[in-house]
Structure 1
Amino acid sequence: MEPQRWLAELETELHQRRLPRRYVTRLMRELSDHVMDAWENSMIKDDQSSIDPESRLGSPREVAESAEQSYCQRTFVARHPAWVFGLLPPLLFAVVAFFFYFFSAAMFMELTDPSQREAIARSPWLPTVIRAYFVGCIVLTSLIVTVTFSMMARRFAVRRRWPMIAAVSVAILCGSFWSQVTPKTPEQMGHFTIGLSLADWPAEATLPRAVQLATPLAVAFWLTRRRRTTQLPLAT
């Protein structure tokens, strides 16, 4: 393969991997100098075997894969996966869940007047709706966090066990949440209680809590299983 064509294909491969522009520019400059120097020397010495960069350095795809792996191994995520995938998922889960639940509650209070809220509070279907909404917030939050860390593991070439560890921590947290709704009656005020405990498993392993527990595990397993069949050997 001609040097110019080899360099052009390599640059395309690097951009397809979404590596930082500075990194690609610096790498292409270094490789271009190296390839063109080797080409000029081979022309002077009339050594045709040294002209083809693919025979000396590998195909553009192989070089791009090696460059991607080298870049990923230098990042904080690849060097400290225990911190990133062990500590951050529960924190991100708490932040996103808080946003979903309390932002929507604030919107409800803003968009309804006291008389409407009074009528809704006496509705017989309110407990079911509140519990379904609570479970939906938990499941959606777990999906966001699990997908985020699974994609991060793919982006920075981290081994499969780390996004699975993140998913397990999120699943335990999700499965620990329970809720109880007491509707409002003329004799008493309504109550909505949220708890966080695994002590009542498996006696209180209701379907919603089972869904909360299984969702992040299933999503992480699916995402990392797909990645394992297409990626190169990964960094530790």
Structure 2
Amino acid sequence: MVLKHLPSESLPREKLLNRGSHALSDAELLAIFLRTGTKGMNVLQLADALLSDFGSLRALFTANREVFCQRKGLGLAKYVQLQAVLEMSQRYLSETIQRGDSLNSPEQTKHYLMSVLRDRHREAFYVLFLDNQNRVIAGEIMFEGTIDAASVYPREVVKRALYHNAAAIILSHNHPSGVAEPSQADRRITRRLTDALGLVDIRVLDHFVVGDGEVVSFAERGWI
């Protein structure tokens, strides 16, 4: 069906304007991004086909360039646009958590850390440095490892915390396997970091482990 034959309220752009972006399906949101369809397929049909091929929006967004560009209806220009959109989204989330507001919501912190760590193919250890009112000073990926593990050095974390004049920190890392359950090694390094930072009066507020669709908080489990 040609889009112009659909009722105006069913068109993705008009639906967004009238009801808000939250009212749109994944296919409708993707259709707005794609803008045009291909021969014999309108943009909504193309969006549906792409989601079916890739399995999800996330899989589409994280596909490598070669796989993305070889799909009919996509290509290098769309790949560049998508990477720009994803980077803007990442920077927006970063700004919302780094404007000097105190981190009082674990859910806000989890959402941000998911955006930073979830789709990395290698394990990464990320630290948020906070002032004495739990306001974010900076966030840094301090260590990266293989797909299975990252080497974490407490001395380096202490040095960076002192450099930022941090009063507290939040630790986090991802599990590329997708399973967020902390390992015994995760618990051991958290204890080592807590002890090392305690010597210079810097508190460890939490350690978050990011999986595919879940984030585990050490503080919520009573481990910190």
Q: Give me the TM-score of the superposition, normalised by structure 2.
A: 0.32
* Structure whose alpha-carbon radius of gyration is higher: 1
Structure with larger RCO (C-alpha < 8 A, sep 6+): 1
Larger strand percent: 2
- Considering fraction of residues, name the structure with more helix: 1
TM-score by length of 1: 0.31
